[in-house]
Amino acid sequence: MAVEIFNPNPTIFTSSKPSKSLKPESIWVSDPFDIKDDADTFESDELIDQDEIFDLIRSINDPEHPNTLEELRVVSAPQITVSGNRIMVEFTPTVPHCGLSTLIGLSIRVRLLRALPSRFKVDITLKPGSHQSEIAVNRQLNDKERVAAALENPALVQTLEQTLANAMLRGQPAE
């Protein structure tokens, strides 16, 4: 983890209500449907739309602050496009020089890799104009070989797991 703090004073937004797909009684984290976050939860014909993808990634922790990507407006449903089996996720770092953008993008990729059926091809990019090294970061996040090699780096995986620790909460508050 970087010693330098990139954004000491991020703007924190309140989380929006959990999306309509959750049943009222699933407020409690102990509901098995909400804890399980692997591909088994999806029926093969289940419609996966931008709200569903947002639900999957909204509770990923920012690596630098004790907030989720939703709270920091790094990810939002309008920044996700689903077209057939292709998913495009745009994310907005809190500051244009954010050195942890690649890590954030990687955590989104890993979360979706684990949660979605294999048929989906996911492209993850920075919101245009939101980062000074936009092209370089986008290239790294979408190079399959670079991503695979990064995931064989134990130190990086450990950091990633911390960001993903509460990802299955899908927007609900942590205990």
Partner 1 sequence: MALSYTVQAIQQLPGHEDRAWHVCWNPTKPLLASCSADKSVRVYQYNDAANFSHLTTISTGHTKTVRSLAWAPSGKTLATASFDANIGIWEQEDGDWECASLLEGHETECKSVAYSSSGTLLASCSRDKTVWIWEVHPDSDFECLSVLMEHTQDVKCVSWHPTEEILASASYDDTIKMYLDDPSDDWFCFLTLTGHTSTVWSLAWSPEKSYLASASDDKTVRIWRRVAQHKWECALVLEGNERSVYSVTWGPGKAPSSSLGWVAAVGGDGFIRVWELSENEDSSLHHNLIAQLPNAHDVHDVNSAVWCPRQGFQDLLATTGDDGTTRIWRVESKIDHV
Nearer to partner 1, 43 or 145 (CB): 145
**Per-residue b or e along 44-83, where b marks 16 or more CB atoms closer than 10 Å to that residue's CB:** eeeebebebbbbbbbbbbbbbbebbbbbbbbbbbebbebe
Please check whether residue 69 is in contact with residue 104, taking contact to mean a CB–CB distance below 8 angstroms.
yes
- Distance in Å, CB of 38 to partner 1, minimum: 16
DSSP helix/strand/coil, 81: strand
Measure the CA–CA gap between 101 and 82, rounded to whole angstroms. 22
In angstroms, what is the minimal distance from the CB of 109 to partner 1?
14
Beta carbon nearer to partner 1, 7 or 134: 134
Q: Whose Cβ is closer to partner 1: residue 114's or residue 139's?
A: 139
Least gap, CB of 106 to partner 1 (angstroms): 16
- Whole-angstrom Cα distance, residue 141 to residue 108? 10
Q: Is the CB of 29 or the CB of 88 nearer to partner 1? A: 88
Give the sign of the dihedral formed by CA 108, CA 134, CA 144, CA 4: negative
* CB 138, min distance to partner 1, A: 10
Q: Least distance from C-beta 48 to partner 1, angstroms?
A: 14
Residues of the shown chain interacting with partner 1 in the complex, contacts defined by CB under 8 A: 85, 117-119, 121, 139, 142-146, 148-149, 152
Q: Tell me how far the alpha carbon of residue 46 is from its chain's centroid.
A: 21
- The residue among 27 and 39 lying less far from partner 1, judged by its C-beta, is 39
